[in-house]
Amino acid sequence: MGARLLSLDDDSAAMAIAAQLDVLNSERQRIELEAVEEATRVAEAEIGGGEGPPVLVLASAAWHAGVVGLVAARLRERFERPAFAIALGPDGGGTGSGRSLPGVDLGRAVLAAVEAGLVARGGGHAMAAGVTLRAGDLGGFRAHLVETLATMVTTARAAKGLEIDAAITARGATPGLVVDLERAGPFGAGNPSPMFAFPSHRAKFPDIVGAGGHVRFTLTSEDGGRLKAIAFRAAATPVGAAIMSSGGDHPLHIAGTLGLDHYQGRAEVQLRVTDVASHGNP
C-alpha cells in the first residue's frame, strides 16, 4: 500500500490508502507496546536484584514476528546488555531478532550457533542478528550466547561511556548546522551521528507524550536560546526522571543528536536526548 500511495495522482484514493496505513500503524504500535511491556516484566524478574545474565534471550508465543527486532532494541536500551526477542510458533520453533552493544559481536556468535547445529538458520553483523529456531533449540541457544558473550559483555559494560563530539548551546543548534552535518551521513553503526553536549541548560515545560512514554521539553540556554528536545521512551528511566524532576529550574548537562523536524512546511531543529547529568556532576 505504501508503494501504491506514492505512485497515485488521485488525491481521494491517496487519502483512503493513507487512512488505512494509519490504522495499521496504530495496530502495530499496540502490538509492539504489549510485547515490550511483557518482555520488560520477564527481564526484570530474570535479573531480579542482582546482575542477571549477560545476555537476555526471551521468547513468547504471544509476540508477533514483525516486532521482535523492536522488542530486542528496547530490551538492549533498558537493561544495557545484548538481547534477543523470539516469537514462538505453534510447533515450538521460533523466529527471533537480537541487538547488541558496541564491542560485542552478536552476529559472529549467531553464526557459530548455526555452525554448531544449535539453531536452524541465522546470521547478522556485530550489532544486530536474526535467527530461526527449531522446537527444542531455545535452551541450547541461550546457553551458547551466555557462554560465548559473557566476557565481551563484561568488558563492554565496564568501558561504557558517551563519546561527545562537541559542546554547543541551544542558540548554536541552527538548521544550517544540521544541514551541514547531514553531508557527513548517512549515519549508522559504523558512522554514528555526531553527539553534542549542552552544558548547564534548563529543561523547560517537560511533558510525557505518546504511548511509548516519551519526554518532551524545551531546552534553554542562559543567553535565551531555545531548542525543541525529546527523550524517546524515557518516562520510566533515570534520564526521564532527571528531566521531569528538574522542573526547568535546575541546570542540567544534556547530550544528544540533532535532526530536523519538518512540520507544516517548516523545518525546526530537534534534539534527540541520549543522556543527562546533574549540573556539577560528570
Q: At what angle do helices 138-158 and 106-115 cross, to 10 degrees?
A: 150
CA separation for the pair 180, 149 (Å, rounded): 39
| Residue of 113, 107, 121, 185 whose CA lies nearest to 152 | 107
Confidence category of residue 55, pLDDT binned at 50, 70, 90: very high
CA separation for the pair 203, 256 (Å, rounded): 14
Strand order in the sheet with 56-60: 56-60, 83-88, 94-99, 128-133, 121-124
CA separation for the pair 38, 68 (Å, rounded): 12
Write the pLDDT tens digit of every residue in 78-104. 899 999 999 999 999 999 999 999 899
* Percent share of the chain, pLDDT over 90: 77
For the segment 6-10, the average pLDDT, to the nearest whole number, is: 93
Average pLDDT, the chain: 92
Q: How is residue 220 written as a grid cell?
A: 534553554
Which sequence spans correspond to the domains of the chain? 2-158, 166-278
166-278 is classed CATH 2.40.50.460: yes
Domain at 2-158, CATH class? alpha beta
What pLDDT sits at residue 281? 53
